């Protein structure tokens, strides 16, 4: 069993860290607020008072934080991971950040004697709780092989997709597909309601055909009920759509539908719904259609 520092114990990180504890690892948690650390300790983990304190004895450090600057601030500097982690240890960043930042962090870690990989996830809060996340890993093959059993504690699909930075590129593609699919599901629901169709029955039959998707399975029921309790916030998906549109532009890749979806995500956020689940794209379609959004607003 490994000693693992886990930094970022929020909606995703909290359950992921608890799976590692349940698997028998020694997990030392750190978070900006103390309550998640206390929950981890109650589940059998340990708490740290700083990043340096968390990583000092760890063979593996895992970070799950919102954005590129958050990871950089944790990794770099005198109080950061690379200045305080054990030589030869591994830093697995499971946040969703820019691919170029992930590649730069891998170089910075290498210079400090820390092996760095990016391993963003898909599956949302439900996947984190159930331990069924899809993990897309950018790493050197030998480093991946070493930590794959740890990653499989948190996810059922764990795949090496290329060198450092590649995981974040695949995650950007994932977020492009997810946002576009949610938008189309939202448009379909508003369309069905406009014709007075039994939407629950309609979703059930759509899910059994070619239109079926994980989005319909996991999001449609709450969308129909107007329940947008966050599993993955609009704010974070807005950030991710910025990543994929910028990355596509850098390589001269046309993503016309993705660019439009990014604008729709941004519009819902600008209307005050950034803290809601990304399925709240439904509210944007309802507003555009002149209909009162479910869930208020």
Catalytic residues: 171
Q: Give the three-class secondary structure for 206.
A: helix
Q: How far apart are CA 144 and CA 160, in angstroms?
A: 7
CB 152 within 8 A of CB 17: no
155: left (phi over 0), alpha (psi -120 to 50) or beta: beta
Q: How far apart are CA 158 and CA 150, in angstroms?
A: 10
CB 226 within 8 A of CB 186: no
What six digits make up the tokens of 278? 């990304």
Of the candidates 247, 244, 280, 248, the residue with the CA atom closest to the CA atom of residue 265:
280
Q: How far apart are CA 147 and CA 181, in angstroms?
A: 32
CB 280 within 8 A of CB 234: yes
Q: In this structure, what are the phi and psi dihedrals at residue 5, rounded to the nearest 5 degrees? A: -90, 130
């Amino acid at each position: 069993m490994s000693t693992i520092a886990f930094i970022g114990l929020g909606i995703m990180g909290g359950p992921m860290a608890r799976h590692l504890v349940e698997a028998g690892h020694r997990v030392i948690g750190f978070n900006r607020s103390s309550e998640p650390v206390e929950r981890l300790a109650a589940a059998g983990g340990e708490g740290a008072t700083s990043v340096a304190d968390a990583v000092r004895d760890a063979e593996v450090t895992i970070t799950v934080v919102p954005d590129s600057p958050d990871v950089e601030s944790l990794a770099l500097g005198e109080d950061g991971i690379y200045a305080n982690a054990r030589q030869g240890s591994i830093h697995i960043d499971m946040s969703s950040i820019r691919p170029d930042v992930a590649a730069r962090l891998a170089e910075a870690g290498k210079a400090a004697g820390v092996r760095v990989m990016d391993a963003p996830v898909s599956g949302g809060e439900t996947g984190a709780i159930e331990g069924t996340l899809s993990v897309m890993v950018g790493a050197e093959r030998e480093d991946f092989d070493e930590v794959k059993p740890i990653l499989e504690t948190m996810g059922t699909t764990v795949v090496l997709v290329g060198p450092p930075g590649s995981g974040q590129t695949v995650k950007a593609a994932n977020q492009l597909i997810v946002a576009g699919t949610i938008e189309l599901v939202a448009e379909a629901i508003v369309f069905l309601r406009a014709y007075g169709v039994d939407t629950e029955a309609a979703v059930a039959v759509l899910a059994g055909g070619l239109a079926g998707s994980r989005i319909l399975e996991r999001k449609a029921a709450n969308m129909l009920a107007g329940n947008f309790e966050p599993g993955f916030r609009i704010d974070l998906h807005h950030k991710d759509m910025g990543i994929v549109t910028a990355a596509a532009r850098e390589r001269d890749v046309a993503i016309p539908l993705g660019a439009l979806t990014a604008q729709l995500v941004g519009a819902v956020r600008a209307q005050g719904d950034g803290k809601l689940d990304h399925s709240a794209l439904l509210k944007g379609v309802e507003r555009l259609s002149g209909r009162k959004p479910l869930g208020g607003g």
